[in-house]
Chain A
Amino acid sequence: MATQTVEDTGPVAHTAEARPEAVVVRFAGDSGDGMQLTGGQFTLSTALAGNDLATFPDFPAEIRAPQGTLFGVSAFQINFGSHRIDTAGDAPDVLVAMNPAALKTNLAAVKPGGLVIADTGEFTRRNLEKAKYSVNPLEDGSLAKWDVLAFDISAQTIEAVKPFGLGNKDALRCKNMWTLGLAMWMFDRPRGPIHDWLRAKFKGKPELAEANIAALDAGHAYGETAELSGPLHQYHLDPVPTAPGLYRTITGAEAVSLGLVAGAQLTGLPLFFGGYPITPASAILHHLARLKEFGVTTFQAEDEIAAICAAIGASYAGSLGVTSSSGPGIALKGEAMGLAIMTELPLVIVNSQRGGPSTGLPTKTEQSDLYQAVYGRNGDAPLPVIAARSPADVFECAIEAVRIAVQYMTPVMLLTDGYIANAAEPWLVPNPADFAPMPAQFLTEKNAGDELLPYARDAKGARPWIKPGTPGLMHRIGGIEKAAGTGHIDYSPANHQEMTDARRTKVLGVDVPEQAVEVGNTTGKLAVVGWGSTYGPIHQAVLRARAKGRDVSHIHVRHIWPLPANLGELLRGFDKVLVPEMNTGQFKTVLRDQFLVDAQPLTKVSGQPFQIAELEAAIETYFDAIPGDAGGEEIAANLQQLPNPEAGHDDGTTPRDLRLMHDRDN
């Protein structure tokens, strides 16, 4: 799989029956237009068609941003193809713009020659003003470098749902299904599954189900008839040959929840989740709240601090305590993490990173909490840190976090980010029986003859887990320095040295698998070292560079702390080390510090994931001036690659149309 190469297909040719290897489609509209819902269903049909895919939902921080405004634009991008797909795609081949604001904020990203579909019904004078257009762009020739298909989707939708007697407002809410119908036709997808889904969704309101189905079918029929005259054509993408088995689409937030439940089952522990609402981490609380039959207790605390403190309390009492947040909330939890380190209790802390500092960019992705995760506490307070690379990868990472927390009696931080949390990808559903059980052990009797030593250590350096309620093992723990062995209060100099060393040794001794090379050789000219959600673009960029003959390898690190023991030696086997990350160079600094290697940063903090082209360009610069090499031309990054609406403020709740995905019932 890792050796597969990828062609940059360029703009899709609009022949009557195009057979591209990959297509990028972006649906963009007002945040009330249901674009995330449309994208989600299109994703399902893409998966059902056997294409590999990656998605990128991008939405404003505002719940109900004023209609038609630039900052109220919500977009959903999907990249799908007949070969392996690792990223949501650099530039769309097709843009569906439901209003002028959506066109304005997304147009620059579209490939020249790409197709723009626009709803003229929304290109009113008022909406044009709101989008700060002085002239209608559909009429002034400014879209000449794209194929444009502009027609009145609003009117078409109203016409299609007329028989159901809906009011104008309700009728227009079916617009997203009409659009989805058109997209279904374009990519030759069966509508049956969407019909079933709509009937299930509007179970109690059959007239709404039928209206939406009528809109969907009308959009599909429109494609058939419009094909003859306009720029609209059908695309056929062959399915990707994949391993047989049961697949599903999964987002990072779902994968965290499932991984935690799996980890709890493998350790035989009840799961206690303490959370406080924060974007983009709230979805984990929502998912777990629906899994109570798995022995899950969810507790929505009064604040971030109470959320982690309750989780630590639950761990103390013998449950698997878990808390989750994003950067600002993680900052608030810092002191309590120190207590979990001091009292040596298991705990999993999930950080869905977002743009910072402070409130920062609540709905945009970033990797800038790495220092916070590794170093961000008072005192010498080490804890293991794991970073997931993709939505599906989060599942295994969550199990790994549970394993380390329970076996080493330590809090563990699991890093994901806004991109991983919200993006969906196909996932070969694992069999739980394939994971080895790792039952938690509790102390049930005194461990030193007649004496109880709550801070005795096993071979791993872990102390025993002693549940209150156990007869004869009463003892006291707390945040004051503990005497080795007895755990009594002890401020003495030698003891603090001993205990600080013991905590450090324990964490540094966590059994971390050897670092493997994802793509390329284990020595060579250039290693591109990534962590977290940069996996997709780095992977593709390295594949492309290798296809051009560049001696470059991709190394992707899951265990951020402690680092794999062989990583230093591995990095020293390369002439150059490049570390792309969505921060100002945090992992680069850790690598330099730990291994004295000349790691070079490649940083991006625009709130958007890396483009493959950006990374390719960066790799090329390392191969300049090499005899026989074509030389790496600087390829300017297209910062408008993905929609980037200006966000005004954050109220820290789930964006409107994501909420609709879960809760829409009217």
Chain B
Amino acid sequence: MNEMTSPGSMITTLKDWETDQEVRWCPGCGDYAILKAVQRTLPQLGADPANTVFVSGIGCSSRFPYYIESYGFHTIHGRAPAFATGIKLANPDLDIWLVTGDGDGLSIGGNHLMHVLRRNVNMQIMLFNNEIYGLTKGQASPTSREGTRSPSTPIGSFDHPAKPAAFALGSGARFVARGFDVSKKLPEVLMAAHAHRGAAFIEIFQNCVVYNKDVFDDFAQPKGAEDRQLWLENGAPMLFAGGTRGIALDREALRLTVVDVADGGWESAGVIVHDVTNRSIAHMLVEMPFGPFPMALGVLYDDPIPTFEEAVIAEREKASAGKEPNLAKLLGTGQTWTVDQSAGHPA
């Protein structure tokens, strides 16, 4: 069902994607794991470093391009989607990875993130969500949970957090996925995002060990992970906890519920099968509260439509059809008249 982007044929190794720059994230930062996952994914995609562009905004996550041996543009706070759109329109052949964070992408750059998703510009958008402003030393971010104590919220934050995946889907995204920094499945999610033709949004939970340490441990820590993580797979039933529990749809109340599954009888328990093209269920999955429910991870939604750059190219071709780009003719178009050589006044 996915219209695959033409698979790359370049043979590279992880080493080929490392730069000579010293990585400057804090020791133990989740960004290291994400960097490795990306560097591991790119060779599997057959990606060509010369044809790959990493574009970022400002923040810890946005230092990412400096550490990938490809073309990289570290831009200004929140605006990376706008730069990436311009790059893609100027050269649609480039493979663009956008790196942003919860502050960069959802606070100062929320507007641009919304529009790049709505327009469906073909690129992978990785939003590193650590629920805090790291580079500015630990202020509450738009995804910080209520009650987060930080230098700017000493008694605890009281604004309601934004939900990145719900924001993306609500903005019109055609691909929404989730993963987390140290997850072994992250490369798989990144590959699915790359295979999607259009704007592919990936929320990556990332541990800020200095200002918001282990805030995702409730679902990300390895111990008991299978009880708290729902890894979605297209065409497979939504099962977790070793297949003993699953997600069902309460058809009366139109909401998801957790049901027990005995002896693999998920069908009789009413567990639903994940269909990545089902937008209604996707809306429920991105809103599914962690606690009563497991954390939904993997590809939540994937249903491609034509991309923005394709439309722009098609429009340009249509508008140019049969027209000759003759500048001399263009300059002399409109309300014109000729002054005669001999008379020196209008002929």
Q: Specify which chain B residues have a CB less than 8 angstroms from the CB of A636 in the assembled complex.
A: none
> What is the bound-complex CA distance between A250 and B111, given in angstroms?
37
Q: Specify which chain B residues have a CB less than 8 angstroms from the CB of A433 in the assembled complex.
A: 328
Closest chain-B Cβ to A641's Cβ sits at a distance in Å of 27
> What is the bound-complex CA distance between A432 and B331, given in angstroms?
9
> What is the bound-complex CA distance between A473 and B344, given in angstroms?
58
Q: Which residue of B lies closest to A478 (CB)?
A: B74
Given the contacts A242-B345, A474-B49, A249 and B75 also touching, CB distance less than 8 Å: no
How many chain-A residues does the 8 Å CB contact rule pick out?
A: 79
Q: Which of B89, B112, B330 contacts A294 (CB 8 A)?
A: B330
Chain A residues numbered 301-338 whose CB sits less than 8 Å from any CB in chain B:
301-303, 305-307, 309-319, 321, 335-336, 338
Q: Specify which chain B residues have a CB less than 8 angstroms from the CB of A270 in the assembled complex.
A: 90
Q: Which of B21, B49, B90, B331 contacts A429 (CB 8 A)?
A: B331
In the complex, the answer to whether B83 meets A309 with C-beta atoms within 8 Å is: yes
> What is the bound-complex CA distance between A239 and B320, given in angstroms?
39
Given the contacts A294-B330, A317-B86, A247 and B76 also touching, CB distance less than 8 Å: no
> What is the bound-complex CA distance between A295 and B313, given in angstroms?
10
Q: Specify which chain A residues have a CB less than 8 angstroms from the CB of B49 in the assembled complex.
A: 474
Q: Which residue of B lies closest to A342 (CB)?
A: B76
Main secondary structure of the interface of B (DSSP, over half): mixed
Closest chain-A Cβ to B116's Cβ sits at a distance in Å of 9
Given the contacts A246-B338, A313-B83, A432 and B327 also touching, CB distance less than 8 Å: yes
Closest chain-B Cβ to A394's Cβ sits at a distance in Å of 13
> What is the bound-complex CA distance between A246 and B328, given in angstroms?
11
Q: Specify which chain B residues have a CB less than 8 angstroms from the CB of A471 in the assembled complex.
A: 50
Q: Which residue of A lies closest to B92 (CB)?
A: A317
Q: Which residue of B lies closest to A338 (CB)?
A: B76
Q: Specify which chain A residues have a CB less than 8 angstroms from the CB of B70 in the assembled complex.
A: 474
> What is the bound-complex CA distance between A254 and B334, given in angstroms?
11
- Whether, in the assembled complex, A469 has its beta carbon less than 8 Å from a beta carbon of chain B, the answer is yes
- Whether, in the assembled complex, B6 has its beta carbon less than 8 Å from a beta carbon of chain A, the answer is no
Q: Which of B83, B91, B115, B316 contacts A467 (CB 8 A)?
A: B91
In the complex, the answer to whether B79 meets A336 with C-beta atoms within 8 Å is: yes
Q: Which residue of A lies closest to B56 (CB)?
A: A478
Of the listed stretches A46-54, A218-226, A602-610, chain B binds: A46-54
Given the contacts A265-B327, A292-B316, A335-B76, A468 and B344 also touching, CB distance less than 8 Å: no
In the complex, the answer to whether B320 meets A292 with C-beta atoms within 8 Å is: yes
> What is the bound-complex CA distance between A553 and B80, given in angstroms?
50
- Whether, in the assembled complex, A545 has its beta carbon less than 8 Å from a beta carbon of chain B, the answer is no
Main secondary structure of the interface of A (DSSP, over half): mixed
In the complex, the answer to whether B332 meets A306 with C-beta atoms within 8 Å is: no
In the complex, the answer to whether A469 meets B89 with C-beta atoms within 8 Å is: no
> What is the bound-complex CA distance between A168 and B87, given in angstroms?
53
- Whether, in the assembled complex, B292 has its beta carbon less than 8 Å from a beta carbon of chain A, the answer is no
Chain B residues numbered 2-41 whose CB sits less than 8 Å from any CB in chain A:
19, 21
In the complex, the answer to whether B115 meets A244 with C-beta atoms within 8 Å is: no
Q: Specify which chain B residues have a CB less than 8 angstroms from the CB of A146 in the assembled complex.
A: none
In the complex, the answer to whether B66 meets A489 with C-beta atoms within 8 Å is: yes
Q: Specify which chain B residues have a CB less than 8 angstroms from the CB of A250 in the assembled complex.
A: 334
Interface string of A36-68 (1 = CB under 8 A from B): 000000011001111000000000000000000
Closest chain-A Cβ to B152's Cβ sits at a distance in Å of 22
Q: Specify which chain A residues have a CB less than 8 angstroms from the CB of B319 in the assembled complex.
A: 290, 292-293
Given the contacts A241-B344, A243-B339, A431 and B50 also touching, CB distance less than 8 Å: no
Q: Which residue of A lies closest to B77 (CB)?
A: A335
In the complex, the answer to whether A476 meets B84 with C-beta atoms within 8 Å is: no
> What is the bound-complex CA distance between A301 and B75, given in angstroms?
17
- Whether, in the assembled complex, B73 has its beta carbon less than 8 Å from a beta carbon of chain A, the answer is yes
Q: Which residue of B lies closest to A466 (CB)?
A: B71
Q: Which residue of B lies closest to A44 (CB)?
A: B335
Given the contacts A297-B312, A318-B91, A468 and B79 also touching, CB distance less than 8 Å: no
> What is the bound-complex CA distance between A302 and B55, given in angstroms?
19
Interface string of A538-557 (1 = CB under 8 A from B): 00000000000000000000
In the complex, the answer to whether A468 meets B86 with C-beta atoms within 8 Å is: no
Q: Which of A48, A244, A249 contacts B341 (CB 8 A)?
A: A244
- Whether, in the assembled complex, A664 has its beta carbon less than 8 Å from a beta carbon of chain B, the answer is no
Given the contacts A303-B111, A309-B76, A475 and B71 also touching, CB distance less than 8 Å: yes
> What is the bound-complex CA distance between A468 and B344, given in angstroms?
53
Given the contacts A318-B91, A473-B50, A309 and B65 also touching, CB distance less than 8 Å: no
In the complex, the answer to whether B75 meets A309 with C-beta atoms within 8 Å is: yes
In the complex, the answer to whether B112 meets A261 with C-beta atoms within 8 Å is: no
In the complex, the answer to whether A293 meets B325 with C-beta atoms within 8 Å is: yes
Given the contacts A245-B338, A248-B335, A302-B112, A431 and B328 also touching, CB distance less than 8 Å: yes
Q: Specify which chain A residues have a CB less than 8 angstroms from the CB of B344 in the assembled complex.
A: 241-242, 244
Closest chain-A Cβ to B203's Cβ sits at a distance in Å of 21
Which of A262, A302, A321, A472 is the most central at the interface, judged by chain B CB atoms within 10 Å of its CB?
A302
> What is the bound-complex CA distance between A476 and B52, given in angstroms?
12
Q: Specify which chain A residues have a CB less than 8 angstroms from the CB of B72 in the assembled complex.
A: 474-478
Closest chain-A Cβ to B322's Cβ sits at a distance in Å of 9
In the complex, the answer to whether B79 meets A309 with C-beta atoms within 8 Å is: yes
> What is the bound-complex CA distance between A73 and B21, given in angstroms?
64
- Whether, in the assembled complex, B93 has its beta carbon less than 8 Å from a beta carbon of chain A, the answer is yes
Given the contacts A261-B330, A316-B73, A472-B50, A248 and B94 also touching, CB distance less than 8 Å: no
Q: Which of A241, A262, A265, A293 contacts B324 (CB 8 A)?
A: A293
Given the contacts A248-B334, A294-B325, A476-B66, A48 and B346 also touching, CB distance less than 8 Å: yes
Q: Specify which chain B residues have a CB less than 8 angstroms from the CB of A248 in the assembled complex.
A: 331-337
Given the contacts A305-B79, A306-B79, A262 and B86 also touching, CB distance less than 8 Å: no
- Whether, in the assembled complex, A480 has its beta carbon less than 8 Å from a beta carbon of chain B, the answer is yes
- Whether, in the assembled complex, B53 has its beta carbon less than 8 Å from a beta carbon of chain A, the answer is yes
- Whether, in the assembled complex, A479 has its beta carbon less than 8 Å from a beta carbon of chain B, the answer is yes
- Whether, in the assembled complex, A630 has its beta carbon less than 8 Å from a beta carbon of chain B, the answer is no
Closest chain-A Cβ to B295's Cβ sits at a distance in Å of 31
Q: Specify which chain A residues have a CB less than 8 angstroms from the CB of B115 in the assembled complex.
A: 301-302, 306
In the complex, the answer to whether A313 meets B90 with C-beta atoms within 8 Å is: yes
In the complex, the answer to whether B338 meets A317 with C-beta atoms within 8 Å is: no
Q: Which residue of A lies closest to B333 (CB)?
A: A248
In the complex, the answer to whether A311 meets B86 with C-beta atoms within 8 Å is: yes
Q: Which of B86, B320, B335, B345 contacts A274 (CB 8 A)?
A: B86
Which of A307, A317, A433 is the most central at the interface, judged by chain B CB atoms within 10 Å of its CB?
A317
- Whether, in the assembled complex, B340 has its beta carbon less than 8 Å from a beta carbon of chain A, the answer is yes
In the complex, the answer to whether B330 meets A312 with C-beta atoms within 8 Å is: no
- Whether, in the assembled complex, B131 has its beta carbon less than 8 Å from a beta carbon of chain A, the answer is no
Given the contacts A303-B111, A306-B115, A258 and B86 also touching, CB distance less than 8 Å: no
In the complex, the answer to whether B335 meets A301 with C-beta atoms within 8 Å is: no
Given the contacts A247-B339, A292-B319, A476-B65, A469 and B327 also touching, CB distance less than 8 Å: no
- Whether, in the assembled complex, A135 has its beta carbon less than 8 Å from a beta carbon of chain B, the answer is no
Q: Specify which chain B residues have a CB less than 8 angstroms from the CB of A314 in the assembled complex.
A: 86-87, 89-90
> What is the bound-complex CA distance between A313 and B71, given in angstroms?
13
Which of B86, B90, B320 is the most central at the interface, judged by chain A CB atoms within 10 Å of its CB?
B86
- Whether, in the assembled complex, A430 has its beta carbon less than 8 Å from a beta carbon of chain B, the answer is yes
- Whether, in the assembled complex, A124 has its beta carbon less than 8 Å from a beta carbon of chain B, the answer is no
Q: Specify which chain B residues have a CB less than 8 angstroms from the CB of A295 in the assembled complex.
A: 325
- Whether, in the assembled complex, B82 has its beta carbon less than 8 Å from a beta carbon of chain A, the answer is yes
In the complex, the answer to whether B86 meets A310 with C-beta atoms within 8 Å is: yes
> What is the bound-complex CA distance between A139 and B130, given in angstroms?
77
- Whether, in the assembled complex, A149 has its beta carbon less than 8 Å from a beta carbon of chain B, the answer is no
Can you list 12 pairs linking A and B with CB atoms under 8 Å apart? Answer: A246-B332, A248-B333, A265-B327, A272-B86, A293-B324, A297-B90, A313-B83, A317-B90, A317-B94, A468-B94, A469-B93, A474-B72
Q: Please give 7 more A-B residue pairs, beta carbons under 8 A apart, in addition to A294-B325, A297-B316, A471-B50.
A: A291-B330, A309-B76, A309-B83, A317-B94, A473-B50, A478-B66, A479-B75
Q: Which residues of B pack against A, CB within 8 Å?
A: 19, 21, 49-51, 53, 55, 58, 65-66, 69-77, 79, 81-91, 93-94, 111-112, 114-115, 312, 315-316, 319-320, 323-325, 327-328, 330-341, 344-346
